[in-house]
Structures are given as C-alpha cells and as structure tokens.
Structure 1
Amino acid sequence: MAWLQRNGLTLLAALVALVVLLPLAWMVSVSFMPPGSAGQFPPTLIPKRPTLANYQTLFGTYGVGRYLANSFLVSCLATALALMFTVPAGYAFAKLRFTGRNAIFQALVGALVVPGQIGMLPLFLELKAMGLVNSYGGVLVPWLANIFGIFLVRQFCLSIPTEMIEAARVDGASEWMIFRRIVLPILKPVLVTLALFVFLGSWNDFMWPLIVLADQDLYTLPVALAALSREHVQDNELMMAGSVVTVLPVLVLFLVLQRHYLDGLLAGSVKG
C-alpha cells in the first residue's frame, strides 16, 4: 500500500501516456497494413504482412510529395515572417514608450477572445481586393502579426532589466543596435518557442488554406489529404499513411525542440 502511494502519480502518468500514445501507434500500424486489413475483427495492433504499398500509392500515384513540399514552404515562410514582425512588436510594447502603448496592447489582448472564424470573411474580401486570393501570400497574411506571439514576446521582454537597456543608450547605442546585440540574444528561448508555435500552427492549419487556395497544385498537405479522403473514404490504410506523413515531421520537430519550447513558455510567465 505504501508503494502504491509513493508511485501512484507515476502510474497515473503512465496510464495517461498509454491512452494518448495508443491511437498514434494504431495509426502507424494501420498505415503498413494491406488494403482492407484494418476492418478485420478482432483488430490486430501489429500488421501480419507489413507493406509500404500505401506510402508508394501516396507519393507515386497521388503526388503527396508536392503537397508535403508546399506545407514545408508555407510553414517556413510563416515562421520567418512571424518572427520578423512579432518579435520587434513584443519588444516595443515591453520596453519602448509611445503614445497609446497600453491602450493598443489591451485592445490586442482583448482580441484574443474573439474567435478567428469571425474575421475570416472580412479578411478574405480584403485579400480578394488586393489580388492575394489563390496565392501563398494570402495564406501567410494571418501569421504576419500573431497576437499571442506579441503577448508571449512582451511577457519575456519584461524580465529584461531596464537598466541594461538604459546603460546601452547612455553609451550611444541606437535602438536597432540595442535590439540586435542585447535583446535578441536574451530572447533565444522565446524565439524558439514562438518559431515552433507558428510552424506547428501553420503546418496543421486547414480552414484558412482551404478558403484561400483554389489551385490544387498549391494545396498544403492537410487540404490535399482532405480532398483525397473524399475519394477514398473507405480506404483506412491509405488515409492512415497520409496521417503519418502529416504528423511525423512536426512530431519529430517538437521532440527535438521541446526543452527550448518549455523554457520559453515558463520564462514568459515570470512577469505580467
């Protein structure tokens, strides 16, 4: 009984991990099964005759490699643009004084509670007038100034001593030099966190690319797989292979950078 009390939390965590990982293990297993095997009863967790036919069909017949490259391109551009615009904005709200700073920031924070779907129609009409519909430019616009990213960077910048910045100004450093040589190196944890957040969000984004992109050659991977599933709704093995292709890159990326990701989130919660 004493052993159970000491290790109860560990057992609970192991049980939760098993519940979370079991569907992922089943997805990977089904992706290596021959067509029709997933519907057998009782179901088997390990395929009896593993095959790569589903992946060969995806990449050879349906050209999923192109959509995979499209997703990488969109996610990398979204991440770079988000860092370019969001990081300076978060620093400005934390350390620079300008008229209306607090009011503007409060308005941005208030906008976080507004569902993103409400702004999709006005944004689509605006992009249509600008000629950005059916282009990656239209897909990338929502990531240019992510409000959560601005909030995250601002919270992290509040932990930077103001005396350090003031000392640099007294020594004659310009604001750009202060930001580039002093602030950016300190922001490394939150930069990794923000980059990972944006990359995962843009990679998994389905609704907005579906609305903006009409040309099938421009489809990102989630949109392309959704279109493919309408033709192969009963082909569970093929769809599971597509799900593995979609999940695996971002899962590996998250596992590699998870320590920096958590450091950035925890550091950003130090000050309010």
Structure 2
Amino acid sequence: MIEINGVSLAYDVTNILSDISVTIPKGGVTALIGPNGAGKSSLLALVARLQPLQSGAITMDGLSVASTPGKVLAKKMAILRQDNHLGSRLTVRELVGFGRFPHSRGHLTAEDRKVVDEALMLFDLDDLSGRFLETLSGGQRQRALVAMAYCQDTDYLLLDEPLNNLDMYFARDLMRSLRRIADERGKTIVIVLHDINYAGTFADRILAMRNGRIVADGRPDELITTDMLNTIYGFEIPVTTIDGRPVALPFR
C-alpha cells in the first residue's frame, strides 16, 4: 500500500498541498479527481519521486519513497507524466521497450520481448508497432506511453491524465484495459482523471481534492452525488442513475 503522512508542498508563498494524510490500499483502481489546480498532479509527482518531499513522509509497501534507491523503486512503480518529451525517430515498439530498462538495462532478452509484444497487443498497438512516433496522432502516442509504463511490470502504475488526446472510443478502451489489469494481474493503479464519470465507472475508490486538500474519500456511489460534487467543484451537478451506477450530468 501507499501511505502518505503529513505531506505539504509550497512554491514561494503559494501552498500547493496542505497536510495530506491518506492510505491507498494495494490492488484495484484509485482515481484522483478535482478541479484544475487542486493538487492532484503534484501529489502524484511526490508519490512517484518526480520532485522531492518538503515535509511529511511517503512509503510504498514500507519502502520510503524519499530514500529507497531508484533502481529498487523502478521495479516497484511506473509513472506516466502529463508532459513527455519523445524522440521523433523512435518506433512504437522501441518506445514500449524502454519500459523494460529497469529489468534489462537496455539489453532486451527474449522474455523482455515477450512482455513488449503483450503490451502492444493489450493496448491495441500491434499494427502501429513499426511506425515512428512523429507519424502518430496524439491519441496514438498517448496509448504507446501507457503501454511503456505497463511494460515496466511494476506492482504500482501511476498515471497522470492518461486520457489526454484520446477520443471516446479509445478512452473507454484504455479504462477497460486498466480495469482488467487491476483485476486479473493484481496491479495497483492510481490515476488522475478529469472525467468523473470514467472515475465512477472504473475506479474502486475516489480521492477528491480541492485547494490542495483531500475533501472527500470513498466509493464512487458515495462521492458522485449532487451535494458532494458541489463541495468538490463548487457548482451544482445533477446526478442520475444508469444501470445501477451514478452518472453526473455537468452540462445540464
């Protein structure tokens, strides 16, 4: 599990996160939701050690994120950031293969290639495997990046807005794949989402943030209510039920 205790973050005089303490259990899908500037990506970046802790502590299965060697953490968690700078002359297969670096140190084995093939198939990239990244759409590149993170074969998969650039078909397809990975392979997926209905459909648990704090924590049916969404987003959002699931209607 991921344990976050007393974590705060500030830039100059601006508070980004304020005394965050929460435990994310092992297994399943946990979604971070909230308005822009709520601190979702900043919290995920601290968990992934993309930036140093200023206060508090974060552990992953008892390992300190701050002090555990990078080689050890790279076999424990994989991270997909919002901003990724890629070499345009890489093929999709080469990019996905980079996910195996913590295991092979750049020299792919037959087992590594098998994992790459599996990731290409899982994320519907087989037909694109020989294409250069510069020839892909934004959505195709995004799927390749998720496949690379998956290919790292870690217990924890941390994804910061992976649905960026994806149309409805591939967004739904990606979320179905992530749900299947969590259920069938025991992965723990922590995902930042802006679409609360994807969170409600595919997540086991939702952490809602606002102004650098966690303002709600619970099952989708507990959080996707008009009153709770008003607390999170600051305006009234009607909620209906479809096939037994709460569905927010933010455009009504």
Same fold (TM over 0.5): no
- TM-score of the aligned structures, taking structure 1 as reference length: 0.26
Larger Rg: 1
Identify, as 1 or 2, the structure richer in strand. 2
**Normalising by the residue count of structure 2, what TM-score does the alignment of the two structures yield?**
0.27
